[in-house]
């Protein structure tokens, strides 16, 4: 069972989604989008796929906010996959705790989230915490990326970075600022997952 996991598309039109990602969607058994679509048009295009699951993000306003839930649990081969965008989860007790809180004590085998635009795949206390990064490569992501989950008796997770030649002036400036910190230190400012 192959699942393509994407987040933070932040785009107005479906043709802005990188071709490599579309190819992966076409070859998946299921697709999970972790929010921050930014447009209803894109949601409708994704909904053309079978087995499409999604949650809304902090950028998904109006119709988008009501069309899809804030959290969901997708069951695949007996594994419970919690999905949530992740905004509002940076609590004093840590991001990981904030994410867990969203599932009200439901036991999950994995929590998939987005929002930070930083890819992560880490197992803590038998729960996989997985963020595929941003398909738009938005700051502080260093590049566009998406994720693959393979699920049978276990869950295997992969972050797939995309080659990109596009760097805006804004992103270059943001890199310059980010380089004052090591990536790890920068990430600590957002979450304690690393
Ligand atoms: Zn975002
Ligand atoms: Zn967000």
pLDDT in tens, 24-39: 999 999 999 999 999 9
- What spacing in Å lies between the alpha carbon of 51 and ligand 2's midpoint? 23
The answer, yes or no, to whether residue 47 has pLDDT greater than 70, is yes
Ligand nearest to the CA of 10: 1
Lowest model confidence (mean pLDDT) among 4-8, 65-69, 136-140: 136-140
142 contacts 116 by C-beta, under 8 angstroms: no
* Beta-sheet pairing, 110-112 with 79-84: parallel
Q: How confident is the model at residue 164 (pLDDT cuts 50, 70, 90)?
A: low
- Host domain of residue 56: 2-188
Q: Does a structural domain hold residue 194?
A: no
- The pLDDT of residue 51 is 95
Integer-rounded Cα Rg, in Å, for the chain is 16
Question: In this structure, what DSSP letter does residue 162 have?
Answer: P
Ion ligand 2: residues, CB within 5 A, are: 36, 57-58, 115
The residue-averaged pLDDT of 36-43 equals 96
For residue 109, report the distance from its CA to the centre of ligand 1, in Å: 24
Q: Specify if 157 maps to a domain.
A: yes
In a domain, 137, yes or no: yes
Average pLDDT over residues 57-86: 96
Among all bound ligands, the one having the nearest atom to the CA of 87 is 2
Q: What is the pLDDT of residue 5?
A: 98
The per-residue pLDDT for 194 is: 36
Q: What is the pLDDT of residue 193?
A: 39
Q: What are phi and psi of 91, to 5 degrees?
A: -100, 165
Total number of domains constituting the chain: 1
**pLDDT recorded at residue 141:** 79
CATH number for 135: 3.60.21.10
pLDDT of residue 174: 53
Closest among 7, 19, 3 to 113, alpha carbons compared: 7
pLDDT of 184 > 90? The answer is no
pLDDT value at residue 89:
86
């Amino acid at each position: 069972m192959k699942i393509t996991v994407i987040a933070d598309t932040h785009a107005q039109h479906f043709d802005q989604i990188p071709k490599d990602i579309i190819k992966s969607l076409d070859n998946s058994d299921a697709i999970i989008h972790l929010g921050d679509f930014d447009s209803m048009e894109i949601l409708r295009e994704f909904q053309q796929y079978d087995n499409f699951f999604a949650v809304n993000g902090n950028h998904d306003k109006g119709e988008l906010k009501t069309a899809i839930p804030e959290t969901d649990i997708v069951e695949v081969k007996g594994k419970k996959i919690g999905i949530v965008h992740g905004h509002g989860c940076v609590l004093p007790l840590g991001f990981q705790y904030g994410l867990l809180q969203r599932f009200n004590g439901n036991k999950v085998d994995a929590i998939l989230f987005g929002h930070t635009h930083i890819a992560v795949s880490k197992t803590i206390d038998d729960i996989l915490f997985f963020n595929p990064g941003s398909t738009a490569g938005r700051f502080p992501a260093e590049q566009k990326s998406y994720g693959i989950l393979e699920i049978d008796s276990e869950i295997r997770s992969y972050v797939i970075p995309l080659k990109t030649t596009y760097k805006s002036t804004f992103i270059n400036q943001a890199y310059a600022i980010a380089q004052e910190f090591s990536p790890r230190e920068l990430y600590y400012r957002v979450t304690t997952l690393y």
